[in-house]
A and B are shown apart, each in its own frame.
Chain A
Amino acid sequence: MADTLLSPVPDEDGAPFWEYAGRGELRVQACADCGELRFPPRPCCPHCRSFASEWRKVSGKGRIWSYVVPHPPLLPAYAARAPYNVVVVELAEAPCIRLVGNLVAADGAPLDSIPPDRVRIGTRVQVVFGADGLPRWVAEQP
């Protein structure tokens, strides 16, 4: 659909992430043997080569690692919201696990609900889940 945002097209490894996200839970794949977190999900642990994995719940707290502000030309649904922000958030529990998302004003608010000049590297954020089941981020209240 030209006028709707893209939905994730999960692969077999990523599907559990999206199923948990749809229930409002942020979970990250972890090795069931050595315990190391890994992202993106994959069948085998790169640390100990175990194929046993579990999905560990994380706090949903993190900090903005970087961001961009896309302008057209873009796909139509995104051009309609431009300029908007896209952030990369490093998780509090595992700073090398970084999730791409958007900084929004509130749960369910659109991509362009925060003025681009208000986005900063280092801002502490908390995950929120909208009706689309995608994890997005709001600034933590001081």
Chain B
Amino acid sequence: MAGLKDATAIAGIGQTAFAKRLPESEKALACRAILAALDDAGVAPGEVDALASYTMEETDEVEVAKALGLGDLTFFSKVGYGGGGSCATVAHLAAAVATGQATVGVAWRSRKRGSGPRPWRNTAVQLPTPAQWTRPFGLLRPVDEIGMLARRYMHEYGATRDHFFNVALACRNRANQNPAAIMYERPLTREMYMTSRWISEPLCLFDNCLETDGALACVIVSAERARDCPHRPVYVHAAAQGLPAQHHGMVNYWNDDPLTGPAWTAARHLWKHADFTPDDVDVAQIYDAFTPLIPLSLEGYGFCGRGEGAAFTEGGALEIGGRLPVNTAGGGLSEAYVHGFNLITEGVKQLRGTGTAQVPGAATCLVTAGEGVPTSALLLRS
């Protein structure tokens, strides 16, 4: 069977500026990011025949294609579950290109979450399931839902706020090296973290990602085509989505083991199809809407055992030179929160050797989408 392994590559990446407020529309930002990615890949807009994005993306394919003068599209796909869909956009395009349904795919995300409304404030579009079981009691926001799992995780495994601080600090330190990051010139200290205001105990301000305006895109072509593009190809080595049996999304309180989430399901498929193991991963970009998602993901993707994710963060393990450098541009916590798409582009930069906090000789990178919701992940290699 001809598989997905190394059959396609990310040949171009593009992004806009990141800010709390950008003047342009989400549609204009999407167009700019996509054009930047195509320019980076050396591919003409008229060659694009596939698109993929998130179901939450507000600019649809028709708008993108007609504004940018794209060619005839033969494949387009949208992935659900918010930040859980990030890596799947690339995975769907890789599958389409590998199976001959398209030749040049563009994945993108454009979002004005910085200046736009907070989704949880909308009481008119309460989803009846499962919000009827949670929102009336004041479990209103994603941070409350994840805070509930975080408290249980701390109780079961002895994780502490210092472990969550280790995550926040590693991301902030990398953002301090990245001029494009929102938090470029704003160092974080343990004192700042421990005395910051609560958002939903046990999670404080610095356990939460940023609220950002910005857009990003990447271009996926066949491995053969990528070798003729200007930059070193970054191959899609393996890709997976993950929706475990009896999973309930962010309010995953109703099964035998709520702390074993979609990451475990995606990881099993990912490693089954890969030529290397977690020990061989040089750098990881792990979805970080909230700090506890990183220890949970470290467990799920097999970097440590069950319950060991918090302890894994000790001793600078997540920093450059540590056991597993993560979120080397600052992640959602400190670079920009654009539903995890900046983790994909940073993975590409690391494997090109052009990261602002470059891991020396990085040749393999895990990129993950949101843990705690139906998710997706990519193994990239140079």
Contact = CB atoms under 8 A, between A and B. Distances in A.
Nearest to A46: B246
A75 interface: yes
B255 A96 contact: yes
A9 B128 contact: yes
Interface in B180-231: 197-203
A98 B126 contact: no
Given A6-B123, A40-B254, A78-B140, A71 B201 contact: yes
Interface string B84-107: 000000000000000000000000
Given A86-B137, A86-B139, A111-B138, A40 B148 contact: no
Contact of A70 (B123, B133, B144, B149): B144
A86 B141 CA distance: 12
Interface string A54-78: 0000000000011111110111001
B136 interface: yes
A83 B198 contact: yes
A100 B135 CA distance: 9
A100 B132 contact: no
Interface in A1-41: 5-11, 13-14, 18, 39-40
Bin chain B's interface residue count: 35 or more
A10 B149 CA distance: 24
Contact of A88 (B136, B148, B255): B148
Interface residues of A, number: 41
B136 A7 contact: yes
A121 interface: yes
A62 B148 CA distance: 17
Contacts of A46: 246
Given A69-B200, A71-B200, A97 B128 contact: no
Contacts of B246: 46
A70 B152 contact: no
B253 A102 contact: no
Contacts of B132: 8-11, 14, 18
Nearest to B149: A66
Given A6-B123, A74-B141, 7 more contacts: A5-B138, A9-B128, A71-B198, A81-B138, A88-B253, A116-B201, A134-B137
28 contacts: A6-B123, A8-B132, A9-B128, A11-B129, A14-B128, A14-B132, A14-B133, A18-B132, A40-B129, A40-B133, A66-B149, A67-B148, A68-B139, A68-B200, A71-B197, A71-B199, A73-B118, A74-B138, A78-B138, A96-B254, A96-B256, A98-B254, A99-B133, A100-B133, A100-B137, A100-B251, A134-B136, A134-B137
